Amino acid sequence: MLKKIILIIMLINYFQFTGYACDDLSLPGNPSTTIDWHEGLDDSFQGPDNPNTVFEIDENAYVTFSKIIHGTKVLVAVHKDFVGKSEIKGFKIPTPEEFSERIFKTFNHHWHVFGGYPYDRYTVKIKPFSESSGFSLSKIGVAFGKTTDENTPNFPPHGYVEALEGFVQHEMFHSWLGKLIQYEPNESGNLFQLETWVVEGGASYYGDRSASLIIRKSIYRKLMRQKLNSYKKALNTSLDLSVQALVEKIGPGPPANDNTQTLLYARSTIVNYLLDEELTKLGFDLDILMKRLYEDFGLTNKKWTQNDIVQILNNETNKDFSKFLNKYLLTNSKFPIKRNFKFLKHAAQCSTID
């Protein structure tokens, strides 16, 4: 009898696990209770806006949409200047309804990569063209504004335009990886460090993947191909450098948005892809790293280093990943990619929400 009960309990557990519905939005995740979002307004806030007021939404000036996703109220606020318009300075924009659906799906997609989100509200705000330029980034949301200034005159004009495919998804990913989950700064005083390969490479790789799942299938191939082209163009030039050497070449800030930075991001994204491919061959995927970073560092306020990455990968897979990573991060070894990137299927991947 006891054996039977144990068997039944084991079966229930098994089916609970395998029957895990990707799009059951009522699942609480990790942690199972949420923290007041104001507590996420800390010194990790980055950008031109006032952190204490930017996520307070004036209902007279903004149209808002919200959806409860795994216990978090995801709030999208689009400035009324954009309502009823189809373009900004000749660039196509989505309707606020289309945009908010994409944000809900992106949040859900990222949530599944990490297995949770700790705050009770997550806000994405689209500021009017007339307000401060640039975007603000935090644990509890992102505020997008105009993107064109003296430094980047040829950039699409606003974070809201369709031409910036993957940009919104990339920045939202940073609310987890980069803001909640932070690396230990090294002594260099440089803008970037070795660990940037995970933060920027991860945000770009997952940003491209989710934009492709959410907006248009072809986006992933197109954006990943752009990164491969940057890498190929640099081969046998003075920029044919390892991630570590690129980081040192860029040196201290502020961001230059130049070829060296583009290449650092491109190389870092491709390393994430190659690691994902390695993990997929072993029956895992890159989400195992993101989930462990979230649990061990994001939820504990501890900071991570490259050593932790190697430890996590080795522990999770029982293989040694140090040689593989050192090859691509510390030397300029050629990437074994000819033309196309596969879209690697992840176990927790959710492409739609109902």
Cβ proximity to Zn ion, 34 vs 169, nearer residue: 169
Counting contacts by CB under 5 A, is residue 168 touching Zn ion? no
Q: How far is the CB of 178 from Zn ion (least distance, A)?
A: 7
Only segment of 48-56, 68-76, 196-204, 222-230 that touches Zn ion (CB under 5 A): 196-204
Only segment of 36-44, 201-209, 242-250, 302-310 that touches Zn ion (CB under 5 A): 201-209
**Contact characters 40-79, Zn ion, x per CB under 5 A:** ----------------------------------------
Counting contacts by CB under 5 A, is residue 164 touching Zn ion? no
Cβ proximity to Zn ion, 117 vs 205, nearer residue: 205
Counting contacts by CB under 5 A, is residue 181 touching Zn ion? no
Cβ-based neighbour number of residue 31 at 10 Å: 13
Q: How far is the CB of 60 from Zn ion (least distance, A)?
A: 32
Cβ proximity to Zn ion, 34 vs 133, nearer residue: 133
Counting contacts by CB under 5 A, is residue 203 touching Zn ion? yes
Only segment of 18-26, 181-189, 194-202, 237-245 that touches Zn ion (CB under 5 A): 194-202
Rounded Cα–Cα distance for residues 291 and 319 (Å) = 18
Q: How far is the CB of 30 from Zn ion (least distance, A)?
A: 24
Cβ proximity to Zn ion, 102 vs 174, nearer residue: 174
**Cβ neighbours of residue 169 under 8 Å, at least 6 residues apart?**
106, 109, 110, 206, 207, 208, 210, 211, 214
Cβ proximity to Zn ion, 200 vs 276, nearer residue: 200
3-state SS, the chain, equals: CHHHHHHHHHHHHHHHHHCCCCCCCCCCCCCCCCECHHHHCCCCCECCCCCCCCCCCCCCCEEEEEEEECCEEEEEEEEHHHCCCCEECCEECCCHHHHHHHHHHHHHHHHHHHCCCCECEEEEEECCCCCCCCCEEECCEEEECECCCCCCCCCCCECCCCCCCCHHHHHHHHHHECCCECECCCCCCCCCCCCHHHHHHHHHHHHHHHHHHHCCCHHHHHHHHHHHHHHHHHCCCCCCCCHHHHHHHHCCCCCCCCHHHHHHHHHHHHHHHHHHHHHHHCCCCCHHHHHHHHHHHHCCCCCECHHHHHHHHHHHHCCCCHHHHHHHHCCCCCCCCCCCCCCCCCCCCCCCCC
Only segment of 20-28, 139-147, 155-163, 195-203 that touches Zn ion (CB under 5 A): 195-203
**Contact characters 100-119, Zn ion, x per CB under 5 A:** --------------------
Cβ proximity to Zn ion, 152 vs 237, nearer residue: 152
Cβ proximity to Zn ion, 165 vs 200, nearer residue: 200
Rounded Cα–Cα distance for residues 66 and 112 (Å) = 19
Cβ proximity to Zn ion, 40 vs 202, nearer residue: 202
Assigned token pair, 35: 């923290």
Cβ proximity to Zn ion, 77 vs 203, nearer residue: 203
Only segment of 107-115, 202-210, 249-257, 318-326 that touches Zn ion (CB under 5 A): 202-210
Q: How far is the CB of 141 from Zn ion (least distance, A)?
A: 15
Only segment of 63-71, 107-115, 197-205, 295-303 that touches Zn ion (CB under 5 A): 197-205
Q: Which residues bind Zn ion (CB under 5 A)?
A: 200, 203
